Amino acid sequence: MPTIRDVARRAGVSPATVSYVLNNSGPVRPETRERVLRAIAELGYHPHAGARQLKRRRTDTLGLILPTGERRLSDPFFLELIHALGDACAVHQLDLLIATCRDPAADLRLIDRLYKGRRVDGFLLIDLRRRDPRIAHLQAAGIPFVAFGRTEADGAFPWVDVDGAAGMRQAVAYLAGKGHRRIAYLSAPLTFTFVYHRLEGYRQGMQAAGLPLDERLIRSARLTMEGGYEAARALLAEGVPFTALLAATDLMALGAMRALHEAGRAPGREVAVIGFDDIPLAAQAHPPLTTLRQPMDQIGEALVRAWLAAVNGEQPEPVLLPPTLILRESA
Amino acid sequence: MPTIRDVARRAGVSPATVSYVLNNSGPVRPETRERVLRAIAELGYHPHAGARQLKRRRTDTLGLILPTGERRLSDPFFLELIHALGDACAVHQLDLLIATCRDPAADLRLIDRLYKGRRVDGFLLIDLRRRDPRIAHLQAAGIPFVAFGRTEADGAFPWVDVDGAAGMRQAVAYLAGKGHRRIAYLSAPLTFTFVYHRLEGYRQGMQAAGLPLDERLIRSARLTMEGGYEAARALLAEGVPFTALLAATDLMALGAMRALHEAGRAPGREVAVIGFDDIPLAAQAHPPLTTLRQPMDQIGEALVRAWLAAVNGEQPEPVLLPPTLILRESA
DNA sequence: CAATGGGATTGAATCGTTTCAAGCTCGAGG
DNA sequence: CCTCGAGCTTGAAACGATTCAATCCCATTG
C-alpha cells in the first residue's frame, strides 16, 4: 500500500506538500498541486486513517450504541434511523460505528472504552428515557454527544427531536374536524420521553378541540404490535365507546387495527386510526395507515450537524422538527 | 488522557513492559503485572486505538455496507441481523463500522476507500445477488470478506448462509404430512440468491412428497408485505385452488395472510400459511405465523468467526446453517 | 567463587501522518 | 548588483503504541 512518502517521491515533492494538498492547508502552487493529485490517482493512494487519527486527535467517527437488553430495539423505525444516519454521515465524510450492549448497566463502560480508546469522537444517543443516566455520565466526563430525543428535565444538552406533542395535537384536531368526539389513545410506559410527549399532545389536542377527556380511553401497553393489539382488545371488551383511535407508534396502531378487524369494526370505515412514525409497513397496511411521519432525512442531517458542532466544542441549539400528517385511508 | 508512558512511569516500569502486560505478549513477573494493572486502573488508561492500529496494521474493525439505493433494506430482518452482528463483534472485541451507499455503483469505491484507508480490516457482505460484482472486486483486490449468503456460482469465497432449500423442503413436508396437496408458493425476483434457493427447496419438497407441481401456484412478487398481499390476491382472483401457502419471507407471508383474511379464507384455519425468517412481527401476527427461524445468534457468531479467519489470511470453510420450523397457529 | 544461562526488563526504532519553523527561489525595489 | 520579502517547499519533530535486540538480574552449576 502506498504511503504519503510514495506519493511525494512520485510527484517529486516532499511529504509535507502532499499533506498540504490533501488537506487544503498551506499554500501550494497550482502546477504542484496538479502533479500531486496525479500521483495520488496513479498510485491509488488513500491516507492511513490510524496515522491521521494519531496526529490530528480526531477519528471522524460517530458512535452509536444500540441497547439490546430489556427492550431490544426491534421496531422497524430504528432501521430507518440507521439508514438516515448513515446517509448523513456519508455527506459529512464521517464514519458510523455501531456497538450493541446487552447489559444496560454496562453501556456507560462501553461509552468510556470507545471514547477513551479514541475510537469515536463522540456519541449519538437514541432511545432516551425520561431520566437517562447516560446524559449525566457523558456530561461529567466531558464527552461530546447529541441525543435523539429529550429527557424530562430538558437540561442543557444538545438534542434533536420530533415534536410528538405537536403531531398528536394535529392528529386530534384532524379527527375532531371530522366530527370524532370519542378518541381513544394507546400509550406506553412513560419511561420513554417520546411516549410522554405524545400523550401530552393528545391531551392538549382534546382540550383545544373542546372534547372531554375520558381517562378510560387512555391505555398503556407495550411498544409493539402485540401491545397495540391487546390494548385495543381490552378497550373493545370493556365497551368504552370510541370512534377514533390514536396510537403512540405505528406498530401499536397496526396491532390495534388487527383487533378492530377481528371485532368487526372496520378500521378506516367505522373507526379512524392514526399512528406515529410512518414506518414502511404503515403504507402497506390494510387499510393504509394514516400517520405522522418523522422526517428521517432531516433528523439524520440535524443529528450529524449538531454532533459535529458538539465535537468542535460548541453548544449546538436543540432542534425540534415537526412531523407531517400523512393522510391515508385509515383515518 | 494518560498514555502508555504515564502508566509506565506510575508503575515504575518501561512502556514496553506495559505493552507486554496489555497484550499478554512477553514475559512479565506476576508482581510487576500487578503493579502495571493497578496503574492502569488508577489512571483509567485506555490504549489509543489509532496508535495501535498504526503499529499493528490492524483496525479490529469490521465493515458492513448497507445498500440503500434501488432496494432499501427495510425488512425488519436486517435490524435483527445488525443486532446479532453487533453482539458477535462485542464477544470478539471487534468494532462494527456501518456505511450506507445510495448509489449502487459507488459501493465498490466505498469499499476501496474504507479498506485502503485502513478503517476496516475487511468486510461483511449482505444482501447477495446471484451474480454479485462485489465478490470479484474484493477477490481481485485481495480484500478479506465474508458474505452472508451465496452467489450463483458458489465460487470459492467464504460465506455463511441459512439453508433456505432445506427449510422449504421441511415446510412442504410438514404441510404434506397434514394432508395438503395444493401448496402455493410466493417467490420474488430471482436476483437474490436466497430467493432462488428457497424456491428450489419448495420444488424439491413437492417432488419428495410426490405432489404435482402446478406452475400456476408459483408467484413472483416484491419482497415486501405489499408484494405478498398482491400476489396472494391475484392467486385468489384467478381461482387456482390451494389449501396452503408458503412465502419466501415473513413479510410476504404477512401480506398474504391479509389477502386471505379479506377473501374470507381464514389463514390458519382454512389456508395454512408458512413464512421464512421469524422476524419479531411473525409471532405477533394473527394468527401467529408459523415460520422458519433463521438462527440469528449463530449467524452472527459464524460470520464474525469466518471474518476473523479471512482477515488472518485463512480460507474459512463455508457454513450452512439449518433454519428451524417454528410451529405457531398459521399452519 | 566464577561462569553460565534463562527469565525479566528496557531502549530505541518504527508505523504514516501533520505541522512548525526554517530554507529556498525569484521578482521588485533601492 | 544587493537586499528584501512574499510565496512555496521542505526537514524534522511529534502523535502513542509495538517489538526486536540488548541488557540486567539472579539463581544454579561446575
Q: Separation of CA A40 and C1' D8 in angstroms?
A: 20
Q: Per-residue confidence at A75, pLDDT binned at 50, 70, 90?
A: confident
Q: Pick B61-162+296-321's CATH classification: 3.40.50.2300, 2.40.50.180, 3.30.70.2740, 3.10.530.10.
A: 3.40.50.2300
Q: Per-residue confidence at B154, pLDDT binned at 50, 70, 90?
A: low
Cβ-based contacts of A83 with chain B (< 8 Å): 66, 68, 72-73, 100
Q: Separation of CA B25 and C1' D25 in angstroms?
A: 21
Cis, bond preceding B287 (omega within 30 deg of 0): yes
Q: Above pLDDT 90, what percent of chain A?
A: 88
Nearest to B280 by CA among B138, B136, B83: B83
Question: Mean pLDDT, to the nearest integer, of A259-287?
Answer: 94
Give the chain B residue nearest A228 (alpha carbons): B284
pLDDT tens digit string along A160-204?
999 999 999 999 999 999 999 999 999 999 999 999 999 999 999
- Hey, are the CB atoms on B98 and A86 less than 8 Å from each other? yes
C-alpha angle B60-B277-B158 in degrees, rounded to nearest 5: 40
Q: How far is A109 from chain B (nearest CA, A)?
A: 11
pLDDT at B153 over 90: no
Give the chain A residue nearest B252 (alpha carbons): A284
pLDDT at A71 over 60: no
Spell out which residues of B between 20 and 39 contact strand C, using CB within 7 Å.
20, 26-29, 32
Cβ-based contacts of B229 with chain A (< 8 Å): 284, 286
Question: Mean pLDDT, to the nearest integer, of A16-32?
Answer: 94
Question: Mean pLDDT, to the nearest integer, of B57-63?
Answer: 96
What are the start-end ranges of the E strands in B126-205? 145-148, 159-162, 183-187
pLDDT at A153 over 80: no
Question: Mean pLDDT, to the nearest integer, of B143-152?
Answer: 94
Cis, bond preceding B158 (omega within 30 deg of 0): no
| CA–CA distance, A135 with A237 (Å, rounded to integer) | 42
Q: What sections of chain A are H helices per DSSP? A: 4-11, 15-23, 30-43, 49-56, 76-91, 107-116, 133-141, 164-177, 193-208, 225-238, 250-262, 280-284, 296-311
Q: What is the pLDDT of residue A73?
A: 74
Q: How far is A47 from chain B (nearest CA, A)?
A: 6
pLDDT tens digit string along B183-220?
999 999 999 999 999 999 999 999 999 999 999 999 99
Q: What is the pLDDT of residue A103?
A: 79
Question: Mean pLDDT, to the nearest integer, of A220-242?
Answer: 95
Q: What are phi and psi of B64, to 5 degrees?
A: -125, 125
pLDDT tens digit string along B238-270?
999 999 999 999 999 999 999 999 899 999 999
Cβ-based contacts of B83 with chain A (< 8 Å): 66, 68, 72-73, 100
pLDDT at B31 over 80: yes
Contact between the CB of A3 and strand C at under 7 Å: yes
Cβ-based contacts of A49 with chain B (< 8 Å): 50, 53, 59, 117-119
Where on strand D do bases come within 7 A of a protein Cβ?
7-12, 14-21
Cβ-based contacts of A224 with chain B (< 8 Å): 280, 284
- Hey, are the CB atoms on B44 and A116 less than 8 Å from each other? yes
Cβ-based contacts of B90 with chain A (< 8 Å): 99-102
Q: Separation of CA A44 and C1' C17 in angstroms?
A: 17
3-state secondary structure of A238: helix
* Helix A133-141 and helix A107-116, axial crossing angle in degrees, nearest 10: 30
Q: Are strands A183-187 and B319-321 parallel, antiparallel or unpaired?
A: unpaired
- Hey, are the CB atoms on A72 and B83 less than 8 Å from each other? yes
Q: What is the pLDDT of residue B71?
A: 57
Where on strand C do bases come within 7 A of a protein Cβ?
7-12, 14-21
Q: What is the pLDDT of residue A274?
A: 98
- Hey, are the CB atoms on A68 and B86 less than 8 Å from each other? yes
Contact between the CB of A28 and strand D at under 7 Å: yes
| CA–CA distance, A29 with A27 (Å, rounded to integer) | 7
Q: Tally A–B CB contacts below 8 A.
A: 161
Task: Give the CATH H-level superfamily of domain B164-293.
Answer: Response regulator (3.40.50.2300)
Nearest to B189 by CA among B20, B16, B70: B70
Residues A218 and A251 sit within 8 Å (Cβ to Cβ): no
Q: What is the pLDDT of residue B135?
A: 93
Mean pLDDT of chain A: 94
Q: What are the residue ranges of CATH 1.10.260.40 in chain B?
A: 4-47
Written as one letter, the residue type at A153 is A
| A321 or B106: which leads in pLDDT | A321
Contact between the CB of A327 and strand D at under 7 Å: no
Residues B90 and A76 sit within 8 Å (Cβ to Cβ): no
Sign of the torsion angle spanned by Cα atoms A8, A12, A16, A21: negative
Q: What is the pLDDT of residue A227?
A: 94
Q: What are the residue ranges of CATH 3.40.50.2300 in chain A?
A: 61-162+296-321, 164-293
Residue closest to D9 C1′ by Cα? A17
**Tell me, what DSSP letter sits at residue A212?**
-
Contact between the CB of A46 and strand D at under 7 Å: no
- Hey, are the CB atoms on B54 and A59 less than 8 Å from each other? no
- Hey, are the CB atoms on B74 and A76 less than 8 Å from each other? yes
Contact between the CB of A49 and strand C at under 7 Å: no
Contact between the CB of A14 and strand D at under 7 Å: yes
Residue B31: strand pairing partners: none
Mean pLDDT of chain B: 94
pLDDT at B70 over 70: no
- Hey, are the CB atoms on A50 and B118 less than 8 Å from each other? yes
Instruction: Please name the member of A74, A95, A116 whose beta carbon is closest to the beta carbon of B97.
Output: A95
Q: Per-residue confidence at A107, pLDDT binned at 50, 70, 90?
A: confident
- Hey, are the CB atoms on A224 and B76 less than 8 Å from each other? no
Residue closest to D10 C1′ by Cα? A14
Lookup: nucleotide whose C1' is closest to A2 CA? C16
Please state which CATH class domain B4-47 belongs to. mainly alpha
| B175 or A106: which leads in pLDDT | B175
Q: Separation of CA A21 and C1' C26 in angstroms?
A: 23
